[in-house]
Structure 1
Amino acid sequence: MAFDPTQPFLRADGLAGGLTEKAMRGPGYRRLFRNVLVASTTPPTALQRVRGALVLQCEEAWASHASAARVKGAPIPTIADEHVSVAHQKLRRHHKGVRCHVGDPAGVVVERGMRVSGDLPMFIELSGQLTLVDLVVVGDWLVRRRGITPEQLVKACKSSRHRDRRKALTAACFVRRGVDSPMETRLRMLLVLAGLPEPAVNLEIRDDLGEVIRKYDLSYPVVRVAVEFNGKLHAEVVENWEDDLERRADMDEDDWRLVVVISAGIYKHPLRTLQRVHRVLLARGMPGVPLRLRDDWRPHFPGFSDAA
Structure 2
Amino acid sequence: MATDASFPISRADALAAGLGDADLRRHYRRVLRGQWISGDRATTRDDLRRAALGLVGSDAFFTHDSAAELHGGITPTTDALHLGIPDDRRVRLPGLVVHRYLDRVPTTHARGFPVTTLPQTFIDLASRWPLVDLVVFGDSIAQQSATAIDEFRSAASAGRGRSIRKARRAAALVVAGAESPYETRIRMLMTLAGLPQPVVQHPILDRNGRVIYRLDLAYPEYRLAIEYDGDYHTNAAQRGKDLARREEIERLGWTFVVGLKTDIHGRPGQLLRRMTSAMASLGMPRPRLSDEWLLHFPG
Q: State the TM-score, normalized to the length of structure 1.
A: 0.88
Offset, 1:93? 3.3
Contact 2:107/2:117 (8 A) holds in 1: yes
1:218 maps onto 2:217 in alignment: yes
1:290 maps onto 2:287 in alignment: yes
| Aligned residue number for residue 260 of structure 1 | 258
| Aligned residue number for residue 94 of structure 1 | 92
Cα distance per residue 1:178-224 (max 9 Å; x no partner): 00111111111111111211111000121232101221001111211
Query: In the TM superposition, what are the counterparts of 1:130-279 in structure 2 within 5 Å?
Result: 130-238=129-237, 240-279=238-277
Cα distance per residue 1:98-119 (max 9 Å; x no partner): 2222335552112222111111
Question: Within 1, Cα distance between the matches of 2:35 and 2:181?
Answer: 34
Relative to structure 1, the CA distance from residue 254 to residue 139 in structure 2 (aligned partners, 3 Å threshold; closer, same or farther) is: same
Relative to structure 1, the CA distance from residue 146 to residue 46 in structure 2 (aligned partners, 3 Å threshold; closer, same or farther) is: farther
| Aligned residue number for residue 14 of structure 2 | 14
Name whichever of 44-53 and 219-228 sits farther off. 44-53
SS, match of residue 137 in structure 1: helix
Offset, 1:47? 2.6
SS, match of residue 280 in structure 2: helix
Gaps of 5+ in 2: none
Gaps of 5+ in 1: none
**Matched length:** 297
Contact 1:6/1:38 (8 A) holds in 2: no
Cα distance per residue 1:134-179 (max 9 Å; x no partner): 1101100111023333222111111123543222112111100100
Question: Within 1, Cα distance between the matches of 2:138 and 2:164?
Answer: 14
Relative to structure 1, the CA distance from residue 226 to residue 165 in structure 2 (aligned partners, 3 Å threshold; closer, same or farther) is: same
Name whichever of 210-219 and 155-164 sits farther off. 155-164
Question: Within 2, Cα distance between the matches of 1:230 and 1:79?
Answer: 25
Cα distance per residue 1:40-63 (max 9 Å; x no partner): 333233332222211112212211
| Aligned residue number for residue 300 of structure 1 | 296
Question: Within 1, Cα distance between the matches of 2:6 and 2:41?
Answer: 6
Relative to structure 1, the CA distance from residue 87 to residue 294 in structure 2 (aligned partners, 3 Å threshold; closer, same or farther) is: same
SS, match of residue 215 in structure 1: strand
SS, match of residue 175 in structure 2: coil
Letter in 2 for 1:297: W
Report % sequence identity.
35
Relative to structure 1, the CA distance from residue 42 to residue 63 in structure 2 (aligned partners, 3 Å threshold; closer, same or farther) is: farther
Query: In the TM superposition, what are the counterparts of 1:53-64 in structure 2 within 5 Å?
Result: 53-64=52-63
Q: State the TM-score, normalized to the length of structure 2.
A: 0.91
Question: Within 1, Cα distance between the matches of 2:78 and 2:247?
Answer: 44
Question: Within 1, Cα distance between the matches of 2:40 and 2:165?
Answer: 45
| Aligned residue number for residue 111 of structure 1 | 110
